[in-house]
Amino acid sequence: MKSTADFRTMKQNGEKIAMVTAYDAPSAKHAETAGIDLLLVGDSVGMTALGYDSTVPVTMEDMILHTRAVRRGAIGTFTVADMPFMSYHGSLDLALGNACRLMQEGGAHAVKVEGGNEVLDVIHALTRAGVPVTAHLGLTPQSAGVIGGYKVQGKTAEQAGKLIREAKKAEEAGAFMLVLECVPLQVAERVRDGLSIPVIGIGAGRNTDGQVLVWHDLIGYSGTRVPKFVKKFADLAPEIEKALRDYKDEVKAGAFPEEGHSFFMDDEEVGALYSQAGERP
Ligand SMILES: Nc1nc(=O)c2c([nH]1)NC[C@@H]1CN(c3ccc(C(=O)N[C@@H](CCC(=O)O)C(=O)O)cc3)CN21
Ligand SMILES: CC(C)C(=O)C(=O)O
Ligand SMILES: [Mg+2]
């Protein structure tokens, strides 16, 4: 399994890091088999798998359940778990306790927290306690209500300057990795060049140390509209719907199941069954 030190070395060597979200055991296993460098159990699970329209309703219990499933599916892959909405605000004790649960109950190797200056003390406290922390700047979906939607961040020089300073401070606070979401490519390049920890982009262009994509978006599973930064590497939704339509049609037509899908008693037992009921076979 790759370690936090390996990810830093990959950045130094200019070797790109490929990360993907995962929410359950089979998808995590597929990612591991494909050689994905590390997994993110994103709180996007709320939107991709649980049917919420934001990440705000996702709870610690949700995150622990899905992290456990992912860890069982990909036992040899470094796994980061998102700290969900409000699970690291209010007090450092709350943040420490919840990060502890993600690691001890969920089996996560690291956690991710959204935000800049507001969470520097959290990043510092967790790191000091032995929790590897990924920072997350740019579009931070847990604050979508405050930001006013899912919008590109850091488009002005002033906003970009603030973001670049916050990224540096997150590194100084101890973060081993930074996720940068929905920022102009030029901003991501500056952040990457200014940090020695790997910068993983999503909607941040090519000039980062690696990329992360949401599982459902990557394989075209969701069937709904995807953000502009997504590339669908497969288009599974139509194939899934075709399979389900074929199944329904065959059930309705009596064409499924066939003999090969069925179990049979021995003739002798069939005879006994009928005579038991006083009937003839
Ligand atoms: N399926 C999925 N994929 C994601 O990437 C994702 C989630 N869910 N849930 C949590 C957050 C929310 N994310 C999103 C969602 C929508 C846009 C979006 O529609 N953005 C506009 C840009 C708007 C602008 O111009 O400022 C776009 O057109 O892509 C971006 C990020 C990223 N994360
Ligand atoms: C979009 C990624 C970075 C994330 O935080 C998630 O999937 O929850
Ligand atoms: Mg997230």
pLDDT tens digit sequence for 215-246: 999 999 987 788 999 999 999 999 999 999 99
| 279: pLDDT strictly greater than 80 | no
Cα 97 from chain centroid (whole Å) = 22
- For 1, the token pair is 């399994």
Task: For the chain, give the mean pLDDT.
Answer: 97
CA of 43 to the centre of ligand 2 (A): 6
Other C-beta atoms lying within 10 Å of the C-beta of residue 105: 15
Q: Which residues contact 256 (CB under 8 A, 6 or more apart)?
A: 247, 250
41 in contact with ligand 2, CB cutoff 6 A: no
Contact assessment for residue 43 and residue 86, using Cβ atoms and an 8 Å cutoff:
no
Flag whether 114 is marked binding.
yes
**ipTM computed for the complex:** 0.95
pLDDT of residue 276: 87
Residue 150 Cα to ligand 1 middle (Å): 6
Q: Is 214 in the pocket of ligand 2 (CB under 6 A)?
A: yes
209 annotated to a ligand binding site: no
Q: How far is the CA of 181 from the centre of ligand 1 (A)?
A: 9
Do 221 and 231 meet the contact criterion of CB atoms below 8 Å apart? no
The span from the CA of 250 to the CA of 116, in Å, is 55
Q: How would residue 277 be classed by pLDDT, with cut points 50, 70 and 90?
A: confident
Look-up of token digits 């992912």: 70
pLDDT of residue 49: 96
Ligand 1 pocket, CB under 6 A? 44, 47-48, 55, 139, 141, 150-152, 182, 214, 216-217, 222, 227-228
82 marked ligand binding residue: yes
Q: Other C-beta atoms within 10 Å of 151: how many?
A: 10
Give the domains, in start order, of the chain with CATH numbers.
4-234 (3.20.20.60), 239-276 (no CATH)
Integer CA distances (angstroms), 83 to 8, 94, 225, in order: 22, 11, 26
pLDDT at site 155: 98
Contact 131 CB / ligand 2 (< 6 Å)? no
- Residue 87, annotated as binding a ligand: no
Active-site annotation, residues: 181
pLDDT digits (tens, 9 = 90+) for 13-69: 999 999 999 999 999 999 999 999 999 999 999 999 999 999 999 999 999 999 999
Answer left, alpha or beta for residue 182, where phi above 0 means left and psi between -120 and 50 means alpha: left
d(CA 77, CA 55): 24
Verify whether ligand 2 is closer than 6 Å to residue 114 (CB atom): no
Task: Give me the pLDDT at residue 201, please.
Answer: 98
Mean pLDDT to the nearest integer, 133-144: 98
Question: Ligand 2 within 6 A of 212 CB?
Answer: yes
